[in-house]
Amino acid sequence: MPCLDPAITPAARRDGLLSAEVFDRLQRTLSWVPMYFLNRMERDPSAHPLDMYWYYPLAMVDDKYRDDAQPLLAGLDPELSVIHEVWQVVREAAGVPVRLYECEVTANGYGNEGHPHRDVPRAELREAHITAVVYCNPEWKIEWAGETVLFDEAGDATTAILPKPGRVTFIHGDPLHVARGVSRICPWPRRVLVYKMWRTDMALAQTPFPDPDSP
C-alpha cells in the first residue's frame, strides 16, 4: 500500500481500489444525479467571480468541525447506495480513523476554470484534514488535461494528478490545490466524487474544534 503519511507526501494516488463492477455502478449512478451551476464565491469569497462549476451536495452537515456525515450517506436513497459503498472502501483505504463531514459530486466542462483553494479556512486545523477524490469518467486521455494540481507554500506546483478512470487520490493536510480546466478537445466534463474528512487519531481532532467564526 502506498504511504499515506502527509509528512512524506501530501497526495497518494490509488489505482484499482474500486472493482470494475463497483466503478461501473458508480458511473451509471452519477450520470443521472442532478447538478446545478455553482459560483465558488458562494462558498469561498476569495474565488474569482468566473470560477463556476457543476455541483451537487450528497451529504453535508451543519457543523463540519463536529458533526458526522456518515449517517446521512448511509441514509441516501437505495438508488444511490453505491456512493456509501465507495465511501466504505475509501475509509478503509485511508489507513487512519476518520470522520466524514461532506460528500459531493462536481463536474467541470471546457471553459470552467478551477480556482486554487483550500478546503479548510483555519490553518491550524489543516494537518488533521483529508480530501479523497474519486475520478469518475470512464476514459481519460493526457491531451484532455483536467489534472488535480497541488502547490507548496511558495506557490509552486509540486504534484499533478491525471483524472484516470476509477483512480482515488487522498490529499492530506489541505495544501493549496486546484482542478485544472479540461482542454477544448475533451468530449465530456471532468466528473469527480469528493469525500472530505477529519483524522480522529490526531490530538488536534480528539477534542471539539473551535467555532470557525470565533476570533
* Cell output for 37: 451551476
Q: Which are the contacts of 9, defined by CB distance < 8 A and separation ≥ 6? A: 3, 159, 172
Mean predicted confidence (pLDDT) in 162-187: 94
Residue at 69: amino acid letter:
A
| pLDDT digits 0-9 by tens, 84-131 | 999 999 999 999 999 999 999 999 888 877 788 888 888 889 999 999
CATH code at 11-200: 2.60.120.620
Confidence of residue 16 (pLDDT cuts 50, 70, 90): very high
Confidence of residue 210 (pLDDT cuts 50, 70, 90): low
Nearest-angstrom CA–CA distance, 60 and 72:
8
Overall size of the chain counted in residues: 215
The pLDDT of residue 139 is 96
> Which residues are 159's β-sheet partners?
150
Residue at 187: amino acid letter:
P
Average pLDDT, the chain: 87
Q: How much of the chain exceeds pLDDT 70, in percent?
A: 87
Characterize the bridge pairing of strands 148-151 and 177-179: antiparallel
Q: Is the pLDDT of residue 57 over 60?
A: yes
Mean predicted confidence (pLDDT) in 15-42: 88
Q: How much of the chain exceeds pLDDT 90, in percent?
A: 60
- Domain regions of the chain by residue span: 11-200
